[in-house]
Amino acid sequence: MSLAPYPAARFRRLRATPSLRALHRETRLGVEDLIWPLFVRDGDNERDAVPSMPGVERLSIDLIVEAAREAALLGIPAICLFPYTDVSLKTEACEEAWNPHNLCNRAVRAIREAGIEIAVMTDVALDPYNANGHDGIVRAGIILNDESVAALVRMALAQAEAGADILGPSDMMDGRIGAIRAALEAEGHTHVTIMSYAAKYASAFYGPFRDAVGASGALTGDKKTYQMDPGNSDEAMRLIARDLSEGADMVMVKPGMPYLDICRRTKTEFGVPTYAYQVSGEYAMLRGAADHGWVDGTAVMMESLTAFKRAGCDGILTYFAPEAARLLNA
């Protein structure tokens, strides 16, 4: 009797049971990988839905404090705050950005005063405060680099003063990391960390976010003179090298899912703390398809987050953070 030939390697052996699959899984997602972006609005006990991001709400400061408490209980290590700024406060000079009592800075202080053990990240970019919706100062239709950096430094210092642990410059002006780092050192904020939005692309996936912070109506033109071209990868490496040399502690790739190759390159080439932002449009796609019953929402959420880890990310900014954390803790 002749034996039937058998495959030299049976990869299916290790996939046969949940235990064997767990045993040889290369990548794990944990609650400690999650950073939860939150939208802050004015008022007291106020919440309102962001229509293009089902399940996401803008929260008044008292509710932001509750959300921070919930995040801490879930084991989420960091939250990130984005203010919805009233249009009356938006100017061409963006002065509200460095108002120590602006919505964002009041929210940071409220979380600090509540004594919640969680890292608080703030966004350093002028768009929520700019009458024209841009991340930098605009004059005669031109986005001015060095004037913008000066404004961003004031903004960053006000956030550090309020008690932010992580500053996230998302503006893409040249030289802002070095300028912010120098100012933090000079003012004694030596322990405030910088997560540079180093490889931030000019992406159509930010649409729902701009609705959420009320910037869509304001924005004139696009952000292509400062955000990256989606076709570029080597340039991302040069930006990361530059931001690290200027004093960034962590770097971010944004958007996330369409740019996992950039995440992998960053981790492999630099070996530094690497984060990805699963942005509003990515959330809206997954959530929208799930709400229509076209995909299994829970499954695509967990699969997408695991993919960031596999691509080399140390953490993920995601609007799914509390939902994913509840599942991971279950």
211 binds ligand PBG (CB under 6 A): no
Min dist CB 319 to ligand PBG, Å, is 7
Q: Candidates 28-36, 104-112, 139-147, 206-214 — which segment interacts with ligand PBG by CB under 6 A?
A: 206-214
Among 90, 223, 254, 267, the active-site one is 254
Q: For this structure, is 223 an active site residue? A: no
Among 200, 223, 267, 309, the active-site one is 200
Min dist CB 98 to ligand PBG, Å, is 16
- 93 C-beta neighbours (distance < 10 Å), count: 13
Site string for ligand PBG, 113-152 (x = CB under 6 A): ----------x-x-x-------x-----------------
At residue 322's C-alpha, the angle toward residues 40 and 102, to 5°, is 15
The label of the residue with tokens 């080439």 reads: 269
Q: Which of 108, 160, 279, 328 binds ligand PBG (CB under 6 A)?
A: 279
Site string for ligand PBG, 155-184 (x = CB under 6 A): ---------------xx-------------
The label of the residue with tokens 């053990």 reads: 117
SS3 readout for 210-230: HHHCCCCCCCCCCCCCCCECC
Closest CB to ligand PBG among 54 and 62?
Answer: 54
Closest CB to ligand PBG among 209 and 259?
Answer: 209
SS3 43: coil
Closest CB to ligand PBG among 256 and 312?
Answer: 256
Burial class (CB in 10 A: 0-12, 13-18, 19+), 285: middle
DSSP state of 216: T
Q: Which of residues 218-237 bind ligand PBG (CB under 6 A)?
A: 223
What is the secondary structure of 59-73 as a DSSP string? EEHHHHHHHHHHHHH
The answer to whether residues 262 and 233 touch, using CB atoms and an 8 Å cutoff, is yes
280 binds ligand PBG (CB under 6 A): yes
Min dist CB 6 to ligand PBG, Å, is 50
Q: Candidates 60-68, 136-144, 176-184, 203-211 — which segment interacts with ligand PBG by CB under 6 A?
A: 203-211
Min dist CB 268 to ligand PBG, Å, is 25
228: which residues sit within 8 A by CB, 6+ positions away? 172, 199, 200, 201, 202, 235, 236, 239
Helix H or strand E segment including 155: helix 145-162
Q: For this structure, is 200 an active site residue? A: yes
- The first and second tokens of residue 14, run together, are 């290790």
210 binds ligand PBG (CB under 6 A): yes
- The first and second tokens of residue 279, run together, are 């942005």
Q: Judged by CB under 6 A, how many residues of this single chain contact ligand PBG?
A: 12
Closest CB to ligand PBG among 60 and 130?
Answer: 130
SS3 227: coil
Phi, psi of 288 (to 5 degrees): -65, -45
SS3 56: coil
Interface contacts to ligand PBG, rule CB under 6 A:
123, 125, 127, 135, 170-171, 206, 209-210, 223, 279-280
User: Which residues are the active-site residues?
Assistant: 200, 254
